Amino acid sequence: MGYTISQKIIKAHLVEGEMSPGAEIGLKIDQTLTQDATGTMCYLQFEAMGVPRVRTERSVAYIDHNTLQTGFENADDHRYIQSVAKRYGIFFSRPGNGICHQVHLERFAKPGKTLIGSDSHTPTAGGIGCLAMGAGGLDVAVAMAGGPYYITMPKTVKVNLTGKLRPFVSAKDVILEVLRIMTVKGGVGKIFEYVGEGVVSLSVPERATITNMGAELGATTSIFPSDKITYEFLKAQGRAEDFVENFPDEDAVYDEEITIDLSSLEPLAAKPHSPDNVESVRNIGEIKIDQVCIGSCTNSSYLDLMRVASILKGRTVHPDVSLVIAPGSKQVLNMIAENGALADIIASGARVIESACGPCIGMGQAPPSGGVSLRTFNRNFEGRSGTADAKVYLVSPETAAISAIMGVLTDPTTLGEFEDIPMPESFHVNDNMILPPASEDEAELVEIIRGPNIKPFPKGKALEERVTSKVLLKLGDNITTDHIMPAGAKILPYRSNIPYLTQFCFAQCDKEFPERCKKHGTAVIVAGANYGQGSSREHAALVPLALGVRAVIAKSFARIHRANLINNGILPLEFINEADYDRISLEDDVVLEKVRDSIENGENVKVKNLTTGEVIEVKCELSPRQRKIMLAGGLLNYTKQQQN
Ligand code: MIC
Ligand code: SF4
């Protein structure tokens, strides 16, 4: 039996387990990346492991999320990360150099390699044929220390691309179509492989737009073959030597298959407040808009911005619209500055901001009250923009640009003239914003600089025989990590200060939750399906841990968040019978009897509801390794135990 693209990479990196779907496998990791919002915590955990130097082929620390620096906090964190990077053998991408995923695609990602990043959109590098996955900070720290990364062996979905995109229809519309078909829950436990004749018409950055937003499917990752187009991109980046070919075998076996005819696609939009709430721009109609944001790791490549510039050229942004543009990297910004496209963008009245995540993570540019914002980003969760009642639509750069001119949502295919923009034969390469680490000899002399914003992180404790607690929160389906631990300009500066963050935990769902936790000491959370979708932020586990959350009982969990809960010693319990969700209410007193024994023996856990007198059984499917982690009260405790 032949192998698929990703199975070939998995096979070459397998250090533990068997490649049968559902089994836990350990993978050797070649590269890691971090960004600043998750990086500080990740490096604190790495330091706690006592390893003198990273053991990966390449590790890069990016500064791209917290670049607003409204106080000393972010600047302190940046300085800490810079010093840690220098000390431990990590490349440091300075603020201003761009968004981690865009820069990593341009300068570091390699086909055939494995990459994990402390950011859920790490699969962007799947566009270049790299097996790239989002992970919690602690998992990235372990990988930097040379440890394997554990995942459940995924199923593989073949996405067969036929035909060719029509003018003004773009890669964003392809992934929105996949989201429409599969939904935000549809990718859990799966890898999406894009194959078929349509693949050759997509450049590497376009492929990266598609694999980037595969994160919104809940997928483990997404990947394209490594072919002639991949080679040309690498060559244009001055990295031809990084190329290796990778195609699926003729007799590769896929678990599922969907076909998308690129020629029949039309411009799409994800309506508020979910990336899978997709409809055609034509059907939604000419709704009035207040803001347009172009950028983010999904859509900020050279090609994206050139297409935007060609639409904006000679036109003026509508008087009622604020158009904000953040180019994805210094390379992109430099190239559009040199060829004049930036001048066209500026002349149209667009507000050009620095190459960083910016509005995508609520770092400024919140829309007006009740405003409609069109964004080329990947997430439109309620409140993420910084304005609680804003309505965010996710669209392609082409739809965003023409709508900014018209003042209403506009289908770009109604524009007449189409300028076909070629991929450059060579990109402007200047890595002067990437600082290499100190040499091994000099590393010990590097001082690690810690600011006052860096506070100790909470540690899990070994699982007790029985857990007595209270249901202090009951939630519905699709709760995102933005609900659990919001981001945005007011909160993000405190990513290295967990005690301070506790007051914002679940702020959007229930402002009183942190107070209740503090009063009661421990808590159990009850939730619906797909709990913890979205970001990889470990803070969505660390902050509840600090508040005393001992278990989450949900209908199902998102992959990265479930791993983060286990890594931090919080029990991810699943209803066996979904109807049991209705038999447990807010404020119910609950006891997990003999929970330690049950976890140790891989048995179901009995939840005794003291308020109703009922007992329900829930499951906690853990690999033998995860069981030990749970019993030890988290991965850090477990690693220490093993070292002893
Ligand atoms: C996001 O898009 O939500 C983030 C901010 O990039 C996160 C990481 C974080 O919360 O720091 C992600 O996607 O993992
Ligand atoms: Fe940054 Fe937004 Fe991409 Fe997250 S999704 S890495 S916040 S640009």
In tens, the pLDDT along 312-342 reads 999 999 999 999 999 999 999 999 999 999 9
The rounded distance, in Å, linking the Cα atoms of 439 and 86 is 9
Shared-domain flag, residues 297 and 396: yes
Q: For ligand 1, what atom is nearest to the CA of residue 492?
A: 11
Residue at a domain's end among 242, 264, 286: 264
Kindly calculate the radius of gyration of the chain based on its CA atoms and give it in whole angstroms: 24
Average pLDDT score over the chain: 97
Contacts of 424 by beta carbon, 8 Å cutoff, 6+ apart? 236, 302, 335
60 DSSP β-pair partners? 33, 91
What phi, psi does 338 have (nearest 5°)? -70, -35
The rounded distance, in Å, linking the Cα atoms of 580 and 176 is 34
Shared-domain flag, residues 138 and 259: yes
Q: What's residue 377's pLDDT?
A: 98
User: Distance, CA 352 to ligand 2 centroid (Å)?
Assistant: 17
Indicate which residue's Cα is closest to atom 7 of ligand 2.
Answer: 361
Q: What is the pLDDT of residues 380-434, one digit of tens each?
A: 999 999 999 999 999 999 999 999 999 999 999 999 888 999 999 999 999 999 9
Shared-domain flag, residues 44 and 181: yes
Q: For ligand 1, what atom is nearest to the CA of residue 361?
A: 5
Contacts of 147 by beta carbon, 8 Å cutoff, 6+ apart? none
Q: Answer yes or no: is the C-beta of 212 below 6 A from any ligand 1 atom.
A: no
Residue 434 resides in a domain? no
Shared-domain flag, residues 256 and 281: no
Residues 100-120: what's their mean pLDDT? Answer: 98
Shared-domain flag, residues 390 and 484: no
Q: Answer yes or no: is the C-beta of 37 below 6 A from any ligand 1 atom.
A: yes
User: Distance, CA 194 to ligand 2 centroid (Å)?
Assistant: 23
Q: What's residue 639's pLDDT?
A: 86
Contacts of 67 by beta carbon, 8 Å cutoff, 6+ apart? 74, 95, 96, 354, 356, 357, 358, 363
Q: Which of 415, 537, 477 is nearest to 138 (CA)?
A: 537
Q: What is the pLDDT of residues 613-642, one digit of tens each?
A: 999 999 999 999 999 999 999 998 998 888
Q: Kindly report the three-state secondary structure assignment for every residue of 85-112.
A: HHHHCCEEECCCCECHHHHHHHHCCCCC
Shared-domain flag, residues 272 and 219: no
Residue at a domain's end among 238, 264, 290: 264
Q: Answer yes or no: is the C-beta of 361 below 6 A from any ligand 1 atom.
A: yes
Indicate which residue's Cα is closest to atom 5 of ligand 1.
Answer: 361
Q: For ligand 2, what atom is nearest to the CA of residue 487?
A: 7
Residues 52-70: what's their mean pLDDT? Answer: 96
User: Distance, CA 39 to ligand 1 centroid (Å)?
Assistant: 11
pLDDT at 643 > cutoff 80: no
User: Distance, CA 120 to ligand 1 centroid (Å)?
Assistant: 6
Shared-domain flag, residues 259 and 287: no
The rounded distance, in Å, linking the Cα atoms of 490 and 493 is 7
Shared-domain flag, residues 246 and 300: no
Q: For ligand 2, what atom is nearest to the CA of residue 300?
A: 8
Contacts of 216 by beta carbon, 8 Å cutoff, 6+ apart? 175, 179, 184, 275, 276, 378, 379
Place of tokens 């910084």: 386
CB-based contact 60:104 (threshold 8 Å) = yes
Q: What's residue 416's pLDDT?
A: 85
| Amino acid in position 619 | K
Residue 540 resides in a domain? yes
Question: What tokens appear for 332 in the block?
Answer: 């992109």
Indicate which residue's Cα is closest to atom 3 of ligand 2.
Answer: 297
pTM as predicted: 0.97
Q: What is the pLDDT of residues 493-545, one digit of tens each?
A: 999 999 999 999 999 999 999 999 999 999 999 999 999 999 999 999 999 99
Residue at a domain's end among 245, 264, 283: 264
Indicate which residue's Cα is closest to atom 13 of ligand 1.
Answer: 535
Q: What's residue 122's pLDDT?
A: 98
CB atoms within 10 A of CB 522: 15
Shared-domain flag, residues 379 and 235: no
Residues 75-102: what's their mean pLDDT? Answer: 98
Q: For ligand 2, what atom is nearest to the CA of residue 295?
A: 8
Q: Out of 60, 62, 65, 120, give the residue to mutate to test ligand 2, the one with the largest number of ligand atoms within 8 Å of its CB.
A: 65
Q: What is the pLDDT of residues 266-325, one digit of tens each?
A: 999 999 999 999 999 999 999 999 999 999 999 999 999 999 999 999 999 999 999 999
Residues 572-595: what's their mean pLDDT? Answer: 98
Q: What is the pLDDT of residues 135-191, one digit of tens each?
A: 999 999 999 999 999 999 999 999 999 999 999 999 999 999 999 999 999 999 999
Question: What tokens appear for 193 in the block?
Answer: 């492989």
pLDDT at 644 > cutoff 80: no
Shared-domain flag, residues 348 and 480: no
User: Distance, CA 33 to ligand 2 centroid (Å)?
Assistant: 13
CB-based contact 198:174 (threshold 8 Å) = no
User: Distance, CA 386 to ligand 1 centroid (Å)?
Assistant: 15
Q: Out of 102, 121, 212, 533, give the residue to mutate to test ligand 1, the one with the largest number of ligand atoms within 8 Å of its CB.
A: 121
Q: What's residue 642's pLDDT?
A: 84
Contacts of 41 by beta carbon, 8 Å cutoff, 6+ apart? 137, 457, 495, 496, 538, 539, 542
> Quick check: bond before 483 cis, omega within 30?
no
Report the CATH number that the domain containing residue 140 is assigned in CATH.
3.30.499.10
CB-based contact 185:479 (threshold 8 Å) = no
Domain housing 171:
5-264
Report the CATH number that the domain containing residue 594 is assigned in CATH.
3.20.19.10
Ligand 2 contacts (CB < 6 A) are: 65, 99, 119, 121, 296-297, 357, 360-361, 377-378
CB-based contact 128:108 (threshold 8 Å) = no
Residue 99 resides in a domain? yes
User: Distance, CA 475 to ligand 2 centroid (Å)?
Assistant: 26
Shared-domain flag, residues 495 and 587: yes
pLDDT at 457 > cutoff 90: no
Q: For ligand 1, what atom is nearest to the CA of residue 539?
A: 10
Residue 430 resides in a domain? no
User: Distance, CA 34 to ligand 2 centroid (Å)?
Assistant: 12
Q: Which of 398, 554, 409 is nearest to 476 (CA)?
A: 554
Residue 295 backbone zone (phi > 0: left; psi -120 to 50: alpha; other: beta): left
Residue 461 resides in a domain? no
Q: What's residue 456's pLDDT?
A: 86
Residue 319 resides in a domain? yes
Q: What's residue 417's pLDDT?
A: 84
Shared-domain flag, residues 100 and 151: yes
Residue 419 resides in a domain? no
Say which ligand is closest to the CA of 492.
1
Say which ligand is closest to the CA of 64.
2
**Number of domain units in the chain:** 3
User: Distance, CA 124 to ligand 2 centroid (Å)?
Assistant: 11
Beta strands in 332-457 (DSSP E): 351-352, 372-375, 391-394, 434-435
Residue 425 resides in a domain? no
